[in-house]
Structure 1
């Protein structure tokens, strides 16, 4: 029990430690509760743009129009204001495209505040559609699942090196194993040393940082979005509001059947 409490405290501290201080605290008031969020200093284009829209009241009265449990809640679209029940909404705006600001230290943990975008085919630069935003709900990953993600990338790399640098010596190794154990061990050590050295230097290997593994295996997130969408802030209070909205029944377009309304977003008074 003490370990679980300590992990929770450390993760809470991590959330606040990663939340930087150049920008004011943002209040997101919804009909399901209120969240507090911070914006990151090292994503200035996204953070400045979002803050400008907040001060304009741009998001007030819009909906969380796309809600996917264990994934994210997306809102802010202007065509969602006063939208009739069942209407398909959520159109983006190309006049608010912003070049991505991917940062290794900002990932899609639960509560991450990020920018949606159009698909790669029509948007190869992965520009953000900064006329909307989403907040990660996500899911908790088991440590084994996270290890499997690493293996899915790294095992094929290792296997190719084995095919190229071990298999050509397989017959010779088999002959030596049957006739000269000492020579077999020497040759095997030499071949495996080459394989290990090439693997160590091979580009493209993928390892999740321990902090990220700890976060994804405790509070959860949406790992597959990392490096594809810009995370420019995070919810620091009111994570339970994300749970409430994510649990709402939705229609075939993932719009909640009961509106999840953004009453207003504003800057916290000091």
Structure 2
């Protein structure tokens, strides 16, 4: 029994040490702005984004660039090389280093306040959700009560079901049902049409591989306390977190902006590797 307890304690100690070591080994960057400094930890779970960001920081790529897109209650965005010395009022946001980075999604890395994430082109032209080589955003977001998060879950699930219904009806194996539903639509027999939709929905949700969307306990705690932008999870790569200077995000986000969401007074940045 004594040996068992000792082994258990050793295992717990090793696990704790490993976790602490992983956290201690995270690279840190200081991002300086006219409103103060932020210290950002980069995640080892997203090595491609981490290494690319460190390379750009070391090469001075970000120095003198602007936070060119700022939306209060949402996020602050920068990293466009065209923003360096850009004339006032110029629309920015299309510049980059000439390459993209493959998405690195991890369900444990979420868009809570202070999250550092990669900007990217939209799904229509970028279905693989590849990240911009240099543009990033830092989440401000909002605190969301659990009731609101539950409403978001219902909304996400309904969107998912609608998408799956559409895929079901496009399947040649279900052509007969689609013909029936199209005829009901044409005849404006909406009650019977709704019955058909409900039947298809039941088929979809009863399938063994169907999983309804549900926020994790980690997400619920983060978004209901510090806040964030949960609707971006799984769509954009989160690769770091502001661990000091969250108030700087609020100061930048509060700046007046023009019709392109660019701050009227330039908000510049300087970055340096501090670990």
Q: Please tell me the TM-score bracket, short chain as reference.
A: 0.7 to 0.9
SS at match of 1:92: coil
C-alpha spacing 1:149/1:199, structure 2 compared with 1 (3 Å)? farther
Q: How does 1:10-159 map to 2 (within 5 A)?
A: 20-93=23-96, 95-154=98-157
Structure 1 residue 155: deviation in Å? 6.6
User: Is 2:271 the counterpart of 1:268?
Assistant: no
**Contact 1:71/1:137 (<8 A) preserved:** yes
**Contact 2:41/2:242 (<8 A) preserved:** yes
**Contact 1:92/1:129 (<8 A) preserved:** no
Q: Distance in 2 between matches of 1:124 and 1:118?
A: 9
Aligned length: 216
**Runs of 4+ in structure 1 displaced over 3 angstroms?**
19-23, 153-158, 198-202
Q: Distance in 1 between matches of 2:157 and 2:135?
A: 35
SS at match of 2:23: coil
| Cα distance per residue 1:100-138 (max 9 Å; x no partner) | 001000010000001000011111111000221110011
Q: Which runs of 5+ in 1 are unaligned?
A: 1-15, 161-194
Of the three residues 237, 247, 260, the one matched with 1:253 is: 260
Q: Which runs of 5+ in 2 are unaligned?
A: 1-18, 165-201
Q: What TM-score do you get using the length of structure 1 for normalisation?
A: 0.74
Structure 1 residue 154: deviation in Å? 4.5
Q: Distance in 1 between matches of 2:160 and 2:127?
A: 26
Q: Distance in 2 between matches of 1:66 and 1:133?
A: 10
Q: Distance in 2 between matches of 1:63 and 1:90?
A: 10
Structure-2 residue corresponding to 1:164: none
Structure 1 residue 25: deviation in Å? 1.4
Structure-2 residue corresponding to 1:173: none
| Aligned alpha-carbon RMSD (Å) | 2.4
Q: Distance in 2 between matches of 1:94 and 1:265?
A: 17
User: Is 2:231 the counterpart of 1:224?
Assistant: yes
User: Is 2:249 the counterpart of 1:242?
Assistant: yes
**Contact 1:157/1:199 (<8 A) preserved:** no
Q: Distance in 1 between matches of 2:33 and 2:159?
A: 46
Q: Distance in 1 between matches of 2:146 and 2:233?
A: 18
Structure-2 residue corresponding to 1:12: none
C-alpha spacing 1:251/1:99, structure 2 compared with 1 (3 Å)? same
